[in-house]
Amino acid sequence: MPQRKLPEKNFNWTPKLAYIIGLLTTDGNLSKDNRHIIMRSSDIQLLKTFKKCLKLKTKIVQSKNDTLAQKPCYRIQFSNVQFYKWLLKIGLFPNKTYTIKSLDIPRQYFRDFLRGHLDGDGSITTYKDYYNTFKNPAYIYDRLFVTFISASEKHIRWIRNDIFRSISIKGHLWKSKPQPPHKVSIWEIKYAKKESIKLLHWIYYKKNLPCLKRKKIIADKILILLSRQKRKKYTKQKER
């Protein structure tokens, strides 16, 4: 007896679902069998959050590392034909890494999607800059950069344009040279301190959002530090 074909289903957008789409866009994969969805990460907490958002009972298992991986890699694989077809409909597809373009993300959920994208392939970098201390020991600056990457130029340009439309920050876009053993370039958007502060406040807009906790801790620490420095500077100016 032939298997009954499942009807197409539209999934209701929520902050959790948009976050999941961000993760699948970066670290996920659609199998060529038209039914299986795979999410990989070296961070088990991220996979547990992924499971919780989708209410999955699937086990987290360890994957074989490729020759470049420095940490153990884990994955979740589950089958959902209707969800798979819906993902195709919004712009995801198998072997998407180099050819993915824009996705059909509702504007009100774009920042949740972006938080997932950041947790998957992005980075939050902070450090103290001592470069000018030879001029004056007080010239120590706290640096902050938020970065998004993709092997697809059209995808990274779409992300940059939508961030600009949402909160009017531009960042700096460039194409890196291939790093052996990779044979392709990576596109990168990098936001410096002032824009990063605005961006981080926007994507972490309330408590208890699904996120990669270690990145959220970095964001919280630097935002608190910079906020204190700003208040201190304002107080000194007022006292003059």
> What CATH number is attached to the domain comprising 187?
3.10.28.10
* Distance of alpha carbon 160 from the chain centroid: 13
Whether residue 8 lies inside any domain: the answer is no
Per the domain annotation, does 4 fall within a domain?
no
Model confidence pLDDT, tens digit, residues 109-164:
999 999 999 999 999 999 999 888 888 887 888 999 999 999 999 999 999 999 99
**Per residue in 169-186, pLDDT tens?**
999 999 988 776 667 889
In a domain, 2, yes or no: no
Query: Which residue from 214, 50, 24, 199 is spatially nearest to 113, judged by alpha carbons?
Result: 24
Position 42 pLDDT exceeds 70: yes
Domain span at residue 66 reads 15-239
Whether 5 is covered by a domain: the verdict is no
**Residue 100 has which token pair?**
């993915």
H helix or E strand, kind and range, residue 161:
helix 153-167
Strand order in the sheet with 141-150: 123-129, 141-150, 187-191, 172-175
* Residue 3 falls inside a structural domain: no
Confidence of residue 1 (pLDDT cuts 50, 70, 90): very low
What values do phi and psi take at 49, rounded to 5? -65, -40
Cis link prior to 181 (omega < 30° from 0)?
Answer: yes
pLDDT at 133: 86
* Residue whose pair of structure tokens reads 């920050």 in the numeric block: 169
Q: Does residue 48 contact residue 60 with C-beta atoms inside 8 Å?
A: yes
Identify whether 169 is part of a domain: yes
Tally of domains in the chain:
1
